[in-house]
Structure 1
Amino acid sequence: MTIKLYNTKTRKKEVFEPIKPGHASMYVCGPTVYERAHLGNARPVLVFDILYRLLRHEYGAENVKYVRNFTDVDDKINARAAQTGRPISDITDETIGWFLDDMGALGALEPTDAPRATAYIGQMIAMIEDLIAKGHAYAAEGHVLFKVRSYTDYGALSGRSVDDMIAGARVEVAPYKEDPMDFVLWKPSSDDLPGWDSPWGKGRPGWHIECSAMAYELLGSAFDIHGGGNDLTFPHHENEIAQSKCAGHDFANVWMHNEMLQVEGKKMSKSLGNFFTVRDLLDQGVPGEVIRFVMLSTHYRKPMDWTEKKREEAKRTLGKWWERTAQLPSEGEISVPSDFIAALANDLNTPGALAVMHDLYREGRLQELESCMVFLGIDEKADFGGMATFGFSASAEELLLSNELGRRWMDLRDRKQFGDADRLKSSAAEIGVELTVTRDNGTQTASAILSGAVDIEKLKALIR
């Protein structure tokens, strides 16, 4: 199988070729742990969870290493501790537990490694010392700063020039900086803030150095994929590249970024009243699989718009799929269809993969549908409290014939033979088959819903 991924660095889709044949490595920037994960935080988790599953399918689970970090030293965490009077370690431990529980409820696999930044302070100090020795960083007033102009390719990932960035800057430049664009690798800590001993005094790391040090420690000098939200492209990922390259590391080959999330067409914001966490939705009774389905219905490089309409459509679709696959006999492992995998291998085209699954449902290929659901992590068959499309176990023949009836009905509608379509729908209703249209991402499909056992001969007669 050929996997193609869009590389932000080259701005084109490329064939994925691992550095080590038969093995794959990936680093994804994780959360800063001081509060519950909101819905937007979940998007990169789910995007790269699908990529992780695809890589495991291609290379074997034992040959894929996936690292996603926790930033547990940060000024936002310090502020939360000061506000609440709680120890920083209590806040970070609690928030990490929340995050893992919430992402698990969305069906996300845990990565191979989930390092905490505070466990790698020694590695960060060593990398900073190396950058100073090589002339790429300097100490000033208890700080250590990276010399941006010492790395000639700075700005290549985000497509910005240093001079343009300086011209557009509206921040006050610290007096200890040699250049306005230089960024902090290390900063001093007062007695009331977390700090570690270093050659530059008691202090704590800047944000960007964390990921460079952890990636190097866990994945080595070069690894295959670095991912995150596109809000991290600049400055975080740009700074990671600069400091890692200047430290002599090859760093990541492929850079992948997901687009942001909106709610009902607007940026999620507390001031707009459309801000909510993953836990908010789960506590409202929205199954994690529904949240996951809605997220996967939009390609990761397009803005994701969470709407109530999409949530209801996802709920209906999964309800039908779960109901029809719930009573399937166990036939061992069923391979996922090649066109399903091909869609995912084409730059994680999850809408295309879901379209394949809609076809499998209409064609009554339920074993294959279930295998795809397992692959995507939407196979838990949550209890929707009476949402099921029918309450009995339909036979395979009933399913196949009713789905064929749905295709015939939709074909009449597509050919604008509405009179014949209406008559067929009425006849189907008389024998207990409801024909409806389902809309998913603008695509109309027919659904045949059985209210109970049907007369097979009458069903066959309608199809003839």
Structure 2
Amino acid sequence: MTLRLHDTATRSVREFVPKTPGQVGIYLCGLTVQSVPHIGHLRSAVNYDVLRRWLLHTGLEVTFVRNITDVDDKILVKAVNEGRPFWSIAYENRRVLDSDYAALNVLPPTYEPLATAHIPEMHELIDDLIERDHAYPAENGNGDVYFDVPSYAEYGALSGQNPDDMRAPADGGEKDKRDYRDFALWKAAKSDEPVDATWPSPWGRGRPGWHIECSAMARRYLGDEFDIHGGGLDLTFPHHENEIAQSRAAGLPFARFWVHHALLNLGEAKMSKSLGNVIDFASIMQMGVRPVELRYYLGTPHYRSRIDYSEEALREAATAYRRIEGFVQRAVEIVGPGRPMDVPPDFAAAMNDDLNTSAALAVVHDTIREGNTALASGDETGVRAALTAVRAMLGVLGLDPLDPAWGGGDRGDDLKPVVDALVHLALEQRAQARARKDWAAADAVRDQLKHAGIQVEDTPAGPRWTVGEQH
């Protein structure tokens, strides 16, 4: 494997070589769970799931860490406004997040640490920074601890920001900071915040700053140095800039590659909970789009390409996936499911070229065209070769229609046998009507099924039904 990745730190595509042969450590900045995730968050999960699947496909062992930020300013504000424990809000939204990830066939992380479960690791890292003169407790003794930005000469290197160009807040910023650019490592307890959202520390009761959480958790599960740190482009500054500053200042090599995915926009702005312009997974399902079709929409553009959301584009993607699914179904009827083997060289080349999923998908479609030609000519060997190649490629993308993860689709495993029996009963009635040449009755059955969202296609092997639009 010669995988080349765009590294934000160097602003170039360079060859990726694991720190430890045969093993890869990845840290992905997860969600702050103050509300349910939107599809922009789900894009992040799908993009890094594809990266992980490709690394696994090439034979590497992957330790994949995706954290959960379960305490922060927004969660605490919501807790106070709703009169609820902060942790109940975080837990409720985390359950929705886990459900959405599972529905999209996102592999579960190796570890999914909670920020609130790693307070001691954060204290240790803050202590190291204070001892190295890169951090300081607030001079007024209120319990806040800040990172000293001017003490770290490389600050701004990741994002390209020049610290000298950073403007001071109009009000001068917090008075207990030495420099307005300094950021909080530990926040002292406040009288207007929940008491149970604080922990004891050497500097007094309080809670962690956002940035220190990820540095501490990445170190806990991946060590002082690891291979890939991922996240959205909007995290480059200040979050990832601050992470790399505090980690390197503490003497940690930290991440070797920084990989950022582009955003999903709604209109001219990124989809954001703070802006209120969000569409969540449940809303997409209400549109009649299946989870596998949403994954196709989110995962097939290049990860560094911006997605401008529209319902029309989503439905076009759903239709495109159904064509892929249709080929797999027709091929399976002729040669069976087969056993996915290796991917075609052109697909591998595309994936190794900075995970170029757009080019990789073109190989999928080319192979399907070859398979359809083989189907039309009765060439079972050609059909089998195309099917196994297509399934192998779709497996890397998490989109194989025969993957058990998609077995129930959005119909639900419990309902599928019931629906299957009812549809077959209707098809038997249609077959009887056709046998007696009652074409009106046969068409009426087919129209009733179509009205219920069931499409019927007559094939040499008998009628085949699917949910949604005709393939």
Asked if Structure 1 and Structure 2 have the same fold, meaning a TM-score greater than 0.5 normalized by the shorter chain, the answer is yes
CA 236–268 in structure 1, closer or farther in 2 if over 3 Å, else same: closer
CA 271–85 in structure 1, closer or farther in 2 if over 3 Å, else same: closer
Matched to 2:265, the amino acid is: Q
1:279 corresponds in structure 2 to 282
1:215 corresponds in structure 2 to 218
Gaps of 5+ in 1: 386-390, 392-449, 455-464
The alignment status of 1:372 with 2:372, answered yes or no, reads no
Equivalents in 1 of 2:313, 2:150: separation in Å? 47
- Residue among 65, 78, 102 paired with 2:76: 78
- Residue among 356, 360, 365 paired with 2:363: 356
2:376 corresponds in structure 1 to none
Shift of 1:107: 1.7
The alignment status of 1:203 with 2:206, answered yes or no, reads yes
- Residue among 116, 119, 124 paired with 1:118: 116
CA 270–173 in structure 1, closer or farther in 2 if over 3 Å, else same: closer
Equivalents in 2 of 1:453, 1:9: separation in Å? 57
Equivalents in 1 of 2:254, 2:163: separation in Å? 21
The alignment status of 1:186 with 2:186, answered yes or no, reads yes
CA 179–269 in structure 1, closer or farther in 2 if over 3 Å, else same: closer
Q: Residues 303-361 of structure 1, C-alpha deviation per residue, up to 9 Å, x if partnerless?
A: 11122222222222221221221251133342222221221111111111111111111
2:323 corresponds in structure 1 to 320
Equivalents in 2 of 1:272, 1:156: separation in Å? 29
The alignment status of 1:5 with 2:26, answered yes or no, reads no
The alignment status of 1:103 with 2:110, answered yes or no, reads no
2:158 corresponds in structure 1 to 157
CA 295–79 in structure 1, closer or farther in 2 if over 3 Å, else same: same
Matched to 1:173, the amino acid is: G
Equivalents in 1 of 2:91, 2:273: separation in Å? 25
What is the RMSD computed on CA atoms of the aligned residues?
A: 2.4
SS state at 1:363 partner: helix
Equivalents in 1 of 2:199, 2:268: separation in Å? 45
Equivalents in 1 of 2:275, 2:184: separation in Å? 34
Equivalents in 1 of 2:274, 2:86: separation in Å? 28
Aligned residues: 390
Equivalents in 1 of 2:30, 2:215: separation in Å? 13
1:20 corresponds in structure 2 to 20
Equivalents in 2 of 1:271, 1:227: separation in Å? 22
Which shows bigger deviation, 211-220 or 83-92? 83-92
Contact 1:4 1:13 in 2 (8 A): yes
Shift of 1:83: 1.8
1:59 corresponds in structure 2 to 59
Shift of 1:110: 1.1
CA 206–263 in structure 1, closer or farther in 2 if over 3 Å, else same: same
- Residue among 297, 303, 306 paired with 2:300: 297
1:127 corresponds in structure 2 to 125
Shift of 1:170: 4.8
Matched to 1:345, the amino acid is: N
1:41 corresponds in structure 2 to 41
Shift of 1:381: 6.6
Matched to 2:291, the amino acid is: G
Matched to 1:294, the amino acid is: Y
CA 118–299 in structure 1, closer or farther in 2 if over 3 Å, else same: same
CA 124–268 in structure 1, closer or farther in 2 if over 3 Å, else same: closer
1:254 corresponds in structure 2 to 257
CA 240–293 in structure 1, closer or farther in 2 if over 3 Å, else same: same
Equivalents in 2 of 1:177, 1:160: separation in Å? 20
Contact 2:339 2:388 in 1 (8 A): no
Shift of 1:81: 1.1
Q: Residues 67-101 of structure 1, C-alpha deviation per residue, up to 9 Å, x if partnerless?
A: 11000111111111112222222211111111011
Q: Residues 377-434 of structure 1, C-alpha deviation per residue, up to 9 Å, x if partnerless?
A: 122377699xxxxx9xxxxxxxxxxxxxxxxxxxxxxxxxxxxxxxxxxxxxxxxxxx
Equivalents in 1 of 2:136, 2:267: separation in Å? 47
Equivalents in 1 of 2:339, 2:40: separation in Å? 37
Contact 2:263 2:306 in 1 (8 A): yes
Contact 1:25 1:64 in 2 (8 A): yes
Matched to 1:138, the amino acid is: Y
Contact 1:186 1:206 in 2 (8 A): yes
Contact 2:54 2:351 in 1 (8 A): yes
SS state at 2:118 partner: helix
The alignment status of 1:331 with 2:333, answered yes or no, reads no
CA 119–258 in structure 1, closer or farther in 2 if over 3 Å, else same: same
Contact 1:325 1:367 in 2 (8 A): no
Runs of 4+ aligned residues of structure 1 deviating over 6 Å after TM superposition are: 269-273
